[in-house]
Chains A and B, each alone.
Chain A
Amino acid sequence: MSEFHQLKVLEVIKETEDSTSISFKVPQELYETFNYKPGQYLTLRFTINTEDVRRSYSLCSSPVIGEPLCIGVKRVKDGLVSNHINNNIKVGDLVEVMKPDGRFFADVKKENYKTYYLFSAGSGITPILSILKTVLFTEEHSYVHMIYGNRSEDSIMFKNTLDKLQENYKERFILEYTLSRPKSSWSDLWKTSKEQTYRKGRVDTAAINWFLEEYPPYAQNAEYYICGPGTMIENTTKALKSIDVPDERIFIESFGGSNLKDTTEAFENAQLIAKLDGETINTIIPKGKTVLRTLIDAGKEPPYSCEAGVCSTCRCKIKSGKVHMKINLALTDQEVEQGYILSCQSIPLSNQVEVVYT
């Protein structure tokens, strides 16, 4: 499951002041392995200052137009890996990459007739761009209505690609940019109306209500894809639900960054019984450790990739006891009800916890 492959960097493009896109060459024998659905991500592994670190980055390339696998990486303030990638990665480097995964994807089919609403902010554009390209290219009848939030014009990632797509698919693709802090300058006074205009503001309730009213769906089978930082996801989801968009039509990929402080205390030194790869592991969860970390520290190999509560690779089922998930951006309410947990986010709340990886 968590097998890494060495992929060679094919191209490195500086997208904006603080972001880079990296393309990888996939050798022919790995084509099958690296096949992906638009919206999925790659997990990269680096050793930085002797520490083994993994991060997941959404693919911004499309699997249907013969382009190499590509991820977009935006610098995170003090971010270990994102800055490493932006500073050091160059063409020809070998990077350890796990096969594509993730449950955030669009099931694109030629015969579909849908309206795709795509909401993204910042680097949340990456999986959205993959879905966008794949839908426009594959589903000749479907429509895409997209709103993309950024701080300012300079920070819009993949702007050329987006503008070109809009030009080529005018009849089926609506794109609105919204900027939270647009740069204004004296030269604005001489702007002609022909120049591109931007909506002002964030991707928030007001923006979403305006957007849906301005661009109602034509094909009535509408789906809503959201990707961006935590607050943007929360706001967008809340706004959609408040106007009765059904849950089953909303798809979310969070890029973390939730500001809520979690103060739940773990049960100290709880006993962990885990069934993994046919083995029953019996150990103690040290203070401050998650179920997943406890297993890794014990030298075991539980499946995981993002370690941020987003991807659900580390999903397991709880048989007895109680845990608390610090962040759950992957499991549905129904799955939680059925006893599924994200082991990378789970801390024990009872003296004993029994889990099964399947």
Chain B
Amino acid sequence: MMHELPVSAYTSQEWFDLEQKHIFSKTWQFAGLVEDVANPGDYVSVQAGLNNIFIVKGRDHRLRAFHNMCRHRGTQLLRAVGKAQKAITCPYHDWTYNLEGKLVSIPKKEEEFPDLCDKELHDCGLNLHEASVDIFKGMLFVHPEKNAPNIMEFFGEVAPYLGPHIPEELIEYKEKKQAPFYTKEINANWKIIVENYIDQYHLAHLHEGTLNMYDHAKAEFGWAGSHYHFYEPLVPAYLADIKNASPYPLMDKMPDDKMGAYVPWLFPNIGITESESAWNTFHAIPLAPDRTLVVIRSKTMNVSEWEYTKQYTKSMASSVWKTMGNKGKYEGEASDPMASGDFMLEDVYACEQQQKSLSSPLFSVGAQAKKGEFAVSKFQSVVKEWIENHQD
């Protein structure tokens, strides 16, 4: 056993399929950031568990979501992102729907489908299947049901524990155009990655030289609804020089007395890292029992390039970074994740090393840190609940 779940939950195709069906196809799923569908006609499509769902913005500036599937033969209608004018046409036989999902045209209807339906096309029961879409904290979420439970019932309890950041006011930081800040396929089950994210106990150890600008001893964390919340302040030395040392311009919404990092995990698979100078989404997408794609999108203050340059220069000169934030746990080549001085590489390494052991006949979890790892078993029990409650 891991804690609440059997080891097979982390290794078997059977469990992977159960989760796809009962968790990822029945919960609000992260679908991007609000600005991804900024203007009427803009759309994005996302895989949410077993469903492919697209979101389109109507001319009334309200979002609609539909299952991305032609009602004729099931062909996927839209590709990843784009702009639809007034209608959505299936590439296969040109069946066409309006932006309300209503069927408006079938080529050669009279000759080919004389018996289909004698009513107007949109009353023929062949409109696109509706799904739900909503916004939470500047993020888009989709739900495969038309009458989904409202998103605040799902996230409402954790909302008061999130950071003061207003993501809509920030701008996305990208190294390359059209690419998120960070993507990485990790050789570990998605739950291993979540458990690493919500494990406070490891911060002072795995990341002793990389996240030591945060005061782990003062971390405040807990569980709200189905979600994990976490906050920790900066260490005094970093706080004292924060105006210079911060790598990017400081978040204007961050109060001086609560300067730190908010790092919640929203069930099932989206984390947010809300720090003094950046706001990131951390999306863990299960690909296989032992493979997970992590996509991080990063937003920072909406200020001029010049402000960034000034801040960078000041940060480089700050003595804070001589002792904090970039020293690997071990000495060695920079290619060794444990010597890299990069906390992401350290986490990936730890997750993959744990996954490797899961197939050992001797594997077991020996003990659980009462406080620092409480969230790990809590998370597992929520996973278990979803699977058990939904199984027929």
Contacts and interface: CB of A to CB of B under 8 A. Distances in A.
B100 A220 contact: no
B59 interface: yes
Nearest to A249: B62
Given A219-B135, A244-B99, A113 B151 contact: yes
Contacts of A296: none
Interface residues of B, number: 17
Contacts of A189: none
Given A141-B156, A218-B135, A219-B134, A244 B59 contact: yes
B325 interface: no
Given A113-B134, A244-B100, A246-B100, A221 B60 contact: no
B175 interface: no
Contacts of A212: 60-61
B392 interface: no
B134 A220 contact: yes
B133 interface: yes
B62 A217 contact: yes
Contact of B58 (A219, A221, A244): A244
A220 B136 CA distance: 10
A246 B264 CA distance: 36
Interface size grouping (class) on chain A? 10 to 19
Among A112, A113, A243, which residue has the most Cβ atoms of chain B within 10 A?
A113
A244 B61 CA distance: 10
B295 interface: no
Interface string A275-317: 0000000000000000000000000000000000000000000
A111 interface: yes
A222 interface: yes
A111 B60 contact: no
A85 interface: no
A2 B156 CA distance: 44
The secondary-structure label for the interface of chain A is loop
Interface string A124-161: 00000000000000000100000000000000000000
B120 interface: no
B48 to A, nearest CB: 16
A243 B151 CA distance: 25
A175 interface: no
Given A141-B156, A219-B152, A244-B99, 17 more contacts: A111-B153, A113-B150, A113-B151, A212-B61, A213-B61, A216-B61, A216-B62, A218-B135, A220-B62, A220-B133, A221-B134, A221-B150, A222-B60, A243-B58, A243-B60, A244-B58, A245-B58
Interface of B: 58-63, 99-100, 132-135, 150-153, 156
18 contacts: A111-B150, A111-B153, A113-B134, A113-B150, A113-B151, A113-B152, A113-B153, A141-B152, A217-B61, A219-B135, A219-B152, A220-B63, A220-B132, A222-B62, A243-B59, A244-B100, A245-B58, A245-B62
